[in-house]
Amino acid sequence: MVDLPGTYSVSARSPEEAIVMDFLKNNKMDVVVDVLDSSNLERNLILTLQLLEEGIPLLIDLNMQDEAKKRGLTLNKAKLSEVLGMPVVETVGRRSDGVKTLLSVFTTEVMEKYQPSDMIKAHIENVNSIRNSGKSDEEIEEAIIDARYAVINNIVTEVVTLNRTVVSVSETLDKYLANGILAPFLFLAILYIVFYITFEWVGQPIADFIDELVSGPITEGATAFLEGAGVSEWLKAMIVDGAIAGVGAVLTFVPLIFILFFCLSFLDGTGYMARVAFITDPFMRRVGLTGKGIMPMMMAFGCAVPAIMGARALDSEKDRLTAILVTPFLTCGAKLPIMALFAAMFFPDNAANVVFLMYIIGVVAAIFAAKFLGATIMKDKGSTFLLELPPYRLPDIKTVLLETWDKGKGYLIKAGTIIFVASVFIWFLSNYNMSGMTEEMSESFLATLGGAIAPLFYFHGFSTWEAGAAAISGILAKESVVSTMGVLYGVAGEIDAEAAAEEASMFLNSGMGAAFTSLSAFAFMVFSQLYTPCVTALGTIKKEAGGFKWMIFAAVYTFFLAWVVSLLVYQIGRLLGF
């Protein structure tokens, strides 16, 4: 048995369709199980006719019978089998109803008894005649589509009975959730609830507990063990300050990622996320994407890595590449501590508004970049968008948990290993120079590297080697910007962004107060929001986009845009007297 990607046709307009078409053309199948949505038979029969036109034997599975009944639809299974000339079974896949019947029919012996009906044979002859007419490709395609829908209309008329007194729950909910006026506001409210659950109600307490566990008992226990074992100071520092700190940073972030994925998978299971794509499609098309592009952009608020991976679900290469290249602009969970710290330090009376403004700047940058890419390097690559609104339903928790784990473990493995290595590397750079281990960070490799790029920010207001070093560490892992600032300005350990809001005078006040003004701090926040993605995201871009060239392009163009925007912010701010 071979499970092919889900698709509505074999016209090769999307990678899924191309994969299915290639497999069907190059392999001889005994039988293909064609799974149809019983609540939307007309839409699903397009693929059925295309397969029959290719002479492929089918077993028709009328799935989602429960949803069809909720919508007042009754399907005559025997009549459908007669008009198609193929065996038909009924199932409710998510409850495994009818699966045994499906398996009993799914045999070569049963299939040998069936042949396409006279109506299907006549349709196939008609399609072949159209293909051989000599007409243009566009005229042939249009004529074939008309022929298919003529047959489909006849089939639906004979097979489907509609009870018009039944109003489904989905139709009732869509009056509000897919309403052109209310839907955007309801979407924002639902999104706010998701982020509140993730970052406040459930996720943050767990993250705080893990952080306290790692920074307390685990770090103290490891330190005591290493000291008792007589381990040298440099090795002890590398293990405690590098390895354990790196793993701790990942473990602290993991609960937020898993909870966010759980919430999004739960919403997807209800059928709501398809409505989100529907209501945002008009706007997304204006910026060079389709409604489906909203999904990876939403995921990017948690982490750019799964957001980039989530671009696989988009329908065209243009949309996938565009989404991959713009999602890193959004405010991920790793950037949030940077924004919270600087906002609390330099804008204590408007900290929340400044952080929210950073989110807006990220969204605007993503929109601008998508529009620019769509008008330049992606200009000649077409984009298609086909959307079906599934019925609302209560998600299967087992499925939601499996999807959450599948997405989360990818982040855990990829991000965990890279951030682990990056943290050790940052420790090494900040503690060593050409002469060996140094007690003065201003003489370390990190200071040298920071000083080398500091002149780039001379007109930005933050041309210190410390700012340059923090920017470099942020490329390794965005979380490292805050911890690097803390170490460089004389504070041991990582900075708690929430504590900084209440105790700003205790954290980095004298050092940062001398290094930054309010305007240069804001410019640094803008730069941190937009510049080169972390190495984890860059590695994911390489894998998902298919090569080093896109990874290098992403690294360079995001840095350039961040450099220009932060420069404009600082210089315009000076002209306005800020």
pLDDT tens digits along 192-210 = 787 678 766 787 678 778 7
Q: What average pLDDT does the segment 418-422 reach?
A: 68
Angle at 97 between CA 93 and CA 102, to 5 degrees: 80
Res 57: pLDDT? 84
User: Quick check: pTM over 0.95?
Assistant: no
Give the whole-number percent of the chain exceeding pLDDT 90: 20
pLDDT tens digits along 373-416 = 888 877 655 555 666 677 788 888 888 898 888 777 766 775 56
Q: What average pLDDT is seen over the chain?
A: 81
Is the pLDDT at 152 greater than 90, yes or no?
Answer: yes
Is the pLDDT at 486 greater than 70, yes or no?
Answer: no
User: Under DSSP, is residue 110 helix (H, G, I), strand (E, B) or coil?
Assistant: helix
Is the pLDDT at 568 greater than 70, yes or no?
Answer: yes
Is the pLDDT at 491 greater than 60, yes or no?
Answer: no
> Residue 81 corresponds to which tokens in the numbers above?
């089998």
pLDDT tens digits along 60-77 = 999 988 888 877 888 999
CA distances from 313 to 227, 291, 486 (A): 51, 12, 40
> Residue 473 corresponds to which tokens in the numbers above?
């560490």
Is the pLDDT at 508 greater than 50, yes or no?
Answer: no
Cβ atoms of residues 183 and 175 within 8 Å: no
Q: Where are the domains of the chain?
A: 31-162, 422-575
Q: How many residues in the chain?
A: 578
Alpha carbons 184 and 534: distance in angstroms, whole number: 31
pLDDT tens digits along 222-259 = 888 888 888 877 788 777 776 776 666 567 667 877 88
Q: 511 or 161: which carries more pLDDT confidence?
A: 161
> Residue 420 corresponds to which tokens in the numbers above?
């682990």
Q: 316 or 532: which carries more pLDDT confidence?
A: 532
Beta bridge partners of 90: 62
Query: 534, 553, 556: which is closest to 545 by C-alpha?
Result: 553
Core vs surface per residue 520-539: b (16+ CB within 10 A) or e = bbbbbbbbbbbbbbbbbbbb
Q: What average pLDDT does the segment 16-24 reach?
A: 78
Going by pLDDT thresholds of 50, 70 and 90, the confidence category of residue 534 is: confident
Is the pLDDT at 512 greater than 80, yes or no?
Answer: no
User: Under DSSP, is residue 385 helix (H, G, I), strand (E, B) or coil?
Assistant: coil
Answer positive or negative: Cα dihedral of 505, 510, 515, 518: positive
Is the pLDDT at 267 greater than 80, yes or no?
Answer: yes
Query: 334, 358, 355: which is closest to 529 by C-alpha?
Result: 358
Res 493: pLDDT? 37
Res 432: pLDDT? 84
Going by pLDDT thresholds of 50, 70 and 90, the confidence category of residue 498 is: very low
Q: Poorest-confidence range of 25-29, 254-258, 465-469?
A: 254-258
Alpha carbons 326 and 558: distance in angstroms, whole number: 9
